[in-house]
Amino acid sequence: MKGLMYYMKFKRNIFTSLLIKHWIVFLLIIFMSLPAGACTIPIEVLGSCFVEELSPEQALVIVDSLPTCDGYVSHLYMKLQGAVVEGLRIDEIAIEARDVYFNPPVEWKEKLRPKEVSTVLFEARLLEEDVNNALKKYELKDKRWSNFKFDLRNGKVVAIAVYEQPLLLFKLNILAKLIGELEVVGGNKIYLKNCKLYADGFRLPEHATQELIEKVQPLLDFDKFIFPVQLDSVSNDDKSILIFTKDKPEPFESSFTWTYSSFSENAVSQSAHSCREPIHPES
């Protein structure tokens, strides 16, 4: 039964992805053929491109006016639930951008990218659970590591795993434990700092710790993210990691909004949507 459910979900994801691609191409052909004076791009096209790029479970896109045919959007807000960045599920992403010049819309079916943007405000929340799920996938790639556990502890992160060291006649299992803190580096990367590394309870020397840590840095890299971000801070409590720019993105009232849900496979453009409502109501 589990295998059948997985197969059905796999087919559904493929179908949804193909449907989005064909929808983008169809709308671009229709609206790029309009006279220049009447040419704007539907918000559905822009929203579908974001969905194609980041595969969110739910999305809300707000613009103050429709994108022009040369790809200009003066004010944009986007909120995503369950988006995927570099293979890692991010529970929530919010972006506010101003004076965005995207690449020409005729290229959006291949990839949507801002060529110029005056301001990008960003915030994201990652759950401990999603980090652990990503580590389980890593275990499948490198059989030497097993029993990964990522633990958030109010300002510190703790990672525990078992490393299998092959020896001449047998294999030695070593319990590795890493304790550290998070920091922003270069404006778009999250690094570990102030790290302590233990092997079977014994702390490794500083130089050995740094040598090993450098191999896994950065923990998160937004360098190739769809929007250029200049991160200001990162923090964590015992359940999640929070990442911010200096100022936080805020939704705004507009008649041009678009919502999407992978659960219903429906995308809706609304002219009278309350933009300040969260995608998921707070409990």
Q: Does 118 map to a domain?
A: yes
- Residue 256: Cβ-neighbour burial (10 angstroms; 0-12, 13-18, 19+): buried
- C-alpha span between 144 and 146 (Å, rounded): 7
SS3 state of residue 200: coil
Tokens of 144: 């030497």
Q: Does 280 map to a domain?
A: no
Partners of 100 in beta bridges = 73, 117
Reference 96, options 113, 79, 84; nearest CA is 79
Q: Mind listing the pLDDT tens digit for each residue in 188-223?
A: 999 999 999 999 999 999 998 998 888 889 989 999
Q: Mind listing the pLDDT tens digit for each residue in 132-165?
A: 988 877 655 667 778 889 999 989 999 998 988 7
Q: How many domains does the structure of the chain reveal?
A: 2
Q: Contact at 8 Å (CB) between 23 and 46?
A: no
Alpha helix (H) residue ranges in 178-230:
206-214
| pLDDT at residue 257 in the model | 97
Q: Does 104 map to a domain?
A: yes
Who contacts 144 (Cβ-Cβ below 8 Å, separation ≥6)? 163, 164, 165
- pLDDT of 274 > 50? The answer is no
87 & 169 share domain = no
Weakest-pLDDT range from 16-20, 109-113, 177-181, 244-248: 16-20
What residue numbers bound the domain in which 21 lies? 2-123+249-270
Q: Does 229 map to a domain?
A: no
Q: Mind listing the pLDDT tens digit for each residue in 10-21?
A: 444 554 555 555
Q: Does 70 map to a domain?
A: yes
Read off the pTM. Answer: 0.77
Looking at every residue in the chain, the average pLDDT score rounds to 83
The CA-CA-CA angle for residues 241, 243, 247, to 5°, reads 145
